[in-house]
Chain A
Amino acid sequence: MFTALMLLSPVAAFAVQTSPPVPTEWWVWEIALFVFSFFLGIIAVIAGVGGGVLFVPIVSSFFPFHIDFVRGAGLLVALSGALSAGSPLLKKGLANLKLALSMALIASISSIAGAMAGLAMPENVVQLSLGATILGISVIMLLSKNSAYPEIAEPDTLSKILHIYGIYYDEQLKKDVSWQIHRTPVGILLFIVIGFMAGMFGLGAGWANVPVFNLVLGAPLRVSVATSIFVLSINDTAAAWVYLHKGAVLPLIAVPSIAGMMIGTKIGARLLTKVHTRVVRKLVITLLAAAGLRALLKGFGI
């Protein structure tokens, strides 16, 4: 897939030919973007990451679109995925609206600030920071160990005031699991940082939301994953509007990406039980690291 993309790229074509490059038709890029997003959707689900975090670094490396539009499309890819996954998670009580609302208010404001800062920065600085961030995310993904059912001895005062606790039916344990959280102020501070980065780079922030909910606040893993989707839908909505107003959203780039990713995600969910998720996760981390390195090199003008 990536070899095919390299061959499609006019820059790559110029590197191997002596005659001037032949511009690729726009519809070829549309189809390539759809097919690429489709495969990305499949591996993203299997690897347990959101599509947005893979989308921005890889598409900005291999497609001819300016990174402004790639970040705009990345936010919409993450947003549409969150919206389509949301309803069943809420009905089952896996996602907790009070937990999400408590974290999202300040995080969405920082997401707006991040989007504004990202669109104001010179392109090479964006590429450099994106590269460094993506490399950091690969390391987090490589090292992070989730805790399925963290033990919370005593909830903190703020979480008591905000009534953040819940109960859900665990399909694996075949019983109801009740939960509460602690370290709420620390969580809110971390969500400010996550929101800023998500807005700046157009990344879905599941890679950061889930560890904060799970390892810092102490919510069960399933609740963390599901609630992360709601925080993401609010933060990405806020940042997406900045990109819309700055003219950084082109339907020609956003729609094939959203459609490909959504179909790929559905197929990925079906394949989930049939493939070795660890192998795919390692592949995704490698891809992320390679894309991060490429973004860094682009930032240095190499």
Chain B
Amino acid sequence: MKQELHANRVQLAYASVLSWTSSLGIFFIVAGYVAYVFRLLPSAASPAEVALHWHLRATELHKVVNVPSGWNWIAQLGRGDVLSYASIVYLSSVTMFCLAVIIPVFLKEKDRIYTVLTLLQIAVLGIVAAGLVSGGH
């Protein structure tokens, strides 16, 4: 079976980036977690301290324990808890990387509809990732 027959260049480009970015994500997640729970790096709040409060609503927990959220951790990458959190942020960004990669391919194929659709999709994900959409309590 020839791949090119069934999957066009856009799909192959997306698949290629998705393959290595998601594998890297799994490595980051395991490495970050190990660094955190085995206390290989210092953390603002130990796992035991977080566990004492994990029955609380998210907003309540953040009032009593210093754990990363949103982008407030960016200057503290040397912390174990931050490293573990950053690996989750990375995983949540993989789709955006993959979408960004296919825009030049759509442009090359002069596919205006999907260039615009993909750009809009990245804009939606980018806006929510930047924290520009608020809600909650």
Contacts and interface: CB of A to CB of B under 8 A. Distances in A.
A259 interface: yes
A35 interface: no
A30 B37 contact: yes
Given A105-B117, A109-B124, A237-B125, A68 B6 contact: no
A91 B29 contact: no
Contact of A255 (B1, B29, B92, B134): B29
Contacts of A255: 29-30, 32-33, 84, 87-88
A248 B95 contact: no
A97 B32 contact: no
A120 B100 CA distance: 32
A270 interface: no
A219 interface: no
Contact of B89 (A105, A168, A244): A244
Contacts, number: 203
A66 B19 contact: no
* Most chain A beta-carbon neighbours within 10 Å: one of B33, B125, B128: B128
A119 interface: yes
A101 B114 contact: yes
Contact of A250 (B5, B18, B50, B114): B50
B125 A108 contact: yes
Contact of B59 (A29, A116, A168, A247): A247
A87 B18 contact: yes
B58 interface: yes
A95 B10 CA distance: 12
Residues of B contacting A: mostly? helix
Interface of A: 26-27, 29-30, 64-66, 68-69, 72, 76, 79-80, 83-84, 86-88, 90-93, 95-98, 101-102, 104-105, 108-109, 112, 115-117, 119-120, 123, 161-163, 166-169, 176, 233-234, 237-238, 240-242, 244-256, 258-259, 262
Interface string B92-125: 1111100000100000000101100110110011
Contact of A251 (B16, B25, B61, B81): B81
A193 to B, nearest CB: 18
Interface string B22-48: 100110011011001100000000011
A222 B19 CA distance: 20
A242 B128 contact: yes
Given A238-B125, A262-B26, A246 B69 contact: yes
B91 to A, nearest CB: 6
A262 B59 CA distance: 29
A73 B92 CA distance: 12
The 8 closest A-B pairs by CB, nearest first: A93-B6, A116-B135, A26-B51, A247-B69, A90-B15, A251-B84, A87-B19, A248-B58
B55 to A, nearest CB: 5
B22 A92 contact: no
A206 to B, nearest CB: 16
A162 B7 CA distance: 17
A80 B29 CA distance: 11
Given A93-B11, A244-B89, A66 B56 contact: yes
Contacts of B128: 112, 238, 241-242, 245
A108 B121 contact: yes
Contacts of A250: 50, 54, 67
Given A112-B133, A120-B136, 15 more contacts: A65-B54, A68-B58, A80-B26, A86-B22, A90-B12, A90-B18, A91-B7, A116-B134, A120-B135, A168-B6, A169-B6, A248-B58, A249-B69, A250-B50, A258-B29
